């Protein structure tokens, strides 16, 4: 099952849970897709996007998650440090801001396409608790040879009283930040304390994967935190990347037909990425 097929299952469930008839649902989803596309270019100006509404979550998964997951998979394939991590029998991954699922779906695709089957525990760290509804049973949707589990950690990086309550995930082998630091950039002065604590407390040898918009404000923030907290950048680049050809969009055909007037899911991205290792 590829990323589109998994997402199709998740979208089917999410669609069925949105109240109303199909016509009203589809109109609301179209508006949510339009809203997200208009808001994301303005993240630097203080816009705050929330995902508490199931319609917004559906729109995000449909429009962005497949593309972002494929970016994660491609970057792991290109980086031996990340790829070799999954040669171990057990791997713990903390997905910071990972509620939408891009992080673990990208890793899952990597495991599938490269025929690796370690036991992988994913901790999805996100303030929006309702994301957990989308992914808690994803292990039931895949071949049982892939031994994964997902758990949700309700964590708001802008509230010290909230994030200071958790520390076990500091022992993770990999920390992923996929299009997350841009989401909280306008709260940088508050969130900086969280990221500095995370970077400093991560265990030696752990890896960091940062993927975000190709904007110096976002990747510069990550770079400065890495420099100040003994995270050695071992791979970094900015480039345009596209969805690979092996992902069959026909799996989402029913939704393409519904929402083609507003545009197809994201297939290209101008990204900056970093791979770091805690010294």
What is the CB neighbour count within 10 angstroms for residue 34? 13
What six digits make up the tokens of 37?
Answer: 């596309």
Which has the minimum average pLDDT: 2-6, 31-35, 141-145, 247-251? 247-251
Q: Which residue has the tokens 């394939």?
A: 77
Does residue 124 register a pLDDT over 90? yes
> Which residues on neighbouring strands pair with residue 176, listed in sequence order?
95, 209
**What pLDDT is recorded for position 206?**
98
**What pLDDT is recorded for position 190?**
94
Q: Which domain holds residue 223?
A: 3-278
**What pLDDT is recorded for position 1?**
67
Query: CA 260 → CA 254, 256, 279, distances in Å?
Result: 10, 5, 48
Does the global pTM surpass 0.85?
A: yes
User: By three-state DSSP, how is residue 201 classified?
Assistant: helix
Question: Which of 229, 177, 164 lies closest to 199, judged by CA?
Answer: 229
CA angle 139, 141, 147 (to 5 degrees): 30
For residues 143-168, average pLDDT: 92
For residues 5-22, average pLDDT: 91
CATH of the domain at 78: 3.40.50.150
Question: Which of 174, 178, 179 lies closest to 231, judged by CA?
Answer: 174
Q: How many domains does the chain have?
A: 1
């Amino acid at each position: 099952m590829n990323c589109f097929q998994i997402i199709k299952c998740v979208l089917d469930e999410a669609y069925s849970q949105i109240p109303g008839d199909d016509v009203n649902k589809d109109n609301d989803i179209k508006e949510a897709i339009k809203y997200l596309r208009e808001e994301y270019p303005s993240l630097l100006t203080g816009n705050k996007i929330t995902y508490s509404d199931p319609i917004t979550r559906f729109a995000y998964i449909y429009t962005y998650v497949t593309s972002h997951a494929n970016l994660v998979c491609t970057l792991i394939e290109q980086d031996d440090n990340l790829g070799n991590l999954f040669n171990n029998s057990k791997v713990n991954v903390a997905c910071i801001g990972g509620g939408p699922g891009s992080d673990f779906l990208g890793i899952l695709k990597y495991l599938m396409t490269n025929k690796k089957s370690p036991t992988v525990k994913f901790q999805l760290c996100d303030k929006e608790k309702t994301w957990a509804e989308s992914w808690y049973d994803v292990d039931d949707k895949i071949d049982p040879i892939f031994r994964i589990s997902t758990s949700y950690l309700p964590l708001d990086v802008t509230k010290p009283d909230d994030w200071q309550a958790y520390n076990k995930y500091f022992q993770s082998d990999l920390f992923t930040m996929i299009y997350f630091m841009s989401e909280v950039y306008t709260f940088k002065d508050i969130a900086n304390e969280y990221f500095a604590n995370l970077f400093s407390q991560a265990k030696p040898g752990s890896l960091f994967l940062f993927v975000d918009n190709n904007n110096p404000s976002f990747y510069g923030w990550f770079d400065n935190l890495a420099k100040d907290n003994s995270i050695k950048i071992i791979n970094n680049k900015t480039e345009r990347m596209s969805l690979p050809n092996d992902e069959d969009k026909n799996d989402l055909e029913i939704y393409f037909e519904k929402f083609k007037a507003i545009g197809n899911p994201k297939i290209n991205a101008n990204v900056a990425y970093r791979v770091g290792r805690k010294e």
